[in-house]
Amino acid sequence: MAHVVVTRPLVEGGLTELRKDHTVTVCDPPEGAARSEEELIALADGADVLLTVLADPVTERVFAACPDLKMVAQYAVGIDNIDLDAAQAHDVVVTHTPGVLTDATADMAWALLLAAARRVPAADDYVREGQFERWETTLLLGTELADKTMGIVGLGRIGAAVARRALGFGMNVVYHNRTRANPTVERQTSAQYVELEELLSTSDVVSLHCPLNEDSRHLIDAAALGRMKDEAILVNTARGAVVDEAALVEALSAGSIAGAALDVFEDEPDVHPGLMEQDRVVLAPHLGSATTETRTEMVHMCVESIRARLSGAEEIPHRAV
């Protein structure tokens, strides 16, 4: 019987099958706290499997200090919090949950965009604060999206799903990838490939869907923001550190761009205080995959991978390393 340590509580009932054959310990950090390496090492001591989230720093130190560890099952698509080279060196299998959250995250990107474009949070505050006394001709004017251009940075599964939704809103779609997308995807999304500089300068909405790596860290910096239209909206449902938040605050304060809609942040759960002061910014607490259907399926994928690894199966589903 193996010992599986789960670093956060998951949807109810998701671990039932795993508990039948293995010992499962579910941990919960203090409210709002991210674990340190030392805390993660203490949790993983003697464990065969760690079921982790993006906030867990699964580093070389963790692998070296936990020689019994056979597997890290990541409850996310992204794996930038895991040292994959160290995992391979220590013969630890790493899995994740690709594909499952595509539609949920694409829907969230659009929810954020519509909220920013039509100033929904400000309108909600206006009504709740008792200011709605009569209909006004110039109250909280937003912007329409039809016939505008959406620029997608990262036309992968999620980026393509966002692009398909843009067609339904009558938008033109351009995109930028490090390598050009499959022609079939381009046809399905009616997306035109352009260089990043052109995307930034011509798009009315810039939506980020790229992975976080050394090339994409602060990809949207002061220079990139300076290329964007004054009336453009920036949407980020990818990774917080793709955007230089300090530079974004400066651009918003100067009116260099019209607004932003963010589901992720550089130093989660901390948010740059300057973003809190901007009434043209919509903020969400990393809800991209937060539907009951998606979060349940993510647990099932993790459990499927864990059971395969612990049973000695040659093929381990959803394997990254």
Backbone dihedral region of 119: left (phi > 0), alpha (psi from -120 to 50 degrees) or beta? left
For 80-132, write each residue's pLDDT tens digit.
Answer: 999 999 999 999 999 999 999 999 999 999 999 999 999 999 999 999 999 99
Task: Name which of 145, 159, 166, 165 is nearest 231 in CA terms.
Answer: 145
pLDDT, average across residues 30-57: 90
Distant-in-sequence contacts of 50-57, Cβ < 8 A, 24+ apart: 50/4, 50/5, 50/7, 51/4, 51/5, 51/6, 51/7, 51/10, 51/75, 51/302, 51/306, 52/7, 52/81, 52/82, 53/7, 53/8, 54/78, 54/80, 54/81, 55/81, 55/268, 56/7, 56/81, 57/81
CA dist., res. 116 & res. 122, Å (int)? 9
10 Å CB burial of residue 101 (0-12, 13-18, 19+) is buried
> Quick check: 7 and 51 in contact, CB under 8 A?
yes
**Is the per-residue pLDDT at 32 higher than 70?**
no
CATH of 3-99+291-310, one of 2.40.50.140, 3.10.180.10, 1.10.287.3510, 3.40.50.720: 3.40.50.720
Q: Name the one residue in this structure whose structure tokens are 């810039």.
A: 206
Map out the domains of the chain as residue ranges: 3-99+291-310, 102-283
**Confidence label for 167 from pLDDT (cuts 50, 70 and 90):** very high
Q: Give the fold, CATH level 3, of 102-283.
A: Rossmann fold (3.40.50)
Q: Which residues are catalytic?
A: 239, 268, 286
Please determine whether the domains at 3-99+291-310 and 102-283 fall in the same fold group of CATH. yes
Residue 29's pLDDT is 79
CA angle 219, 220, 226 (to 5 degrees): 135
Residue 241's pLDDT is 97
- The reported pTM is 0.94
User: E strand or H helix at 260, and its extent?
Assistant: strand 259-262
**Is the per-residue pLDDT at 31 higher than 70?**
no
Across the chain, what does the average pLDDT equal? 96
| Cβ contacts of 211 within 8 Å, gap of 6 or more | 78, 80, 154, 238, 239
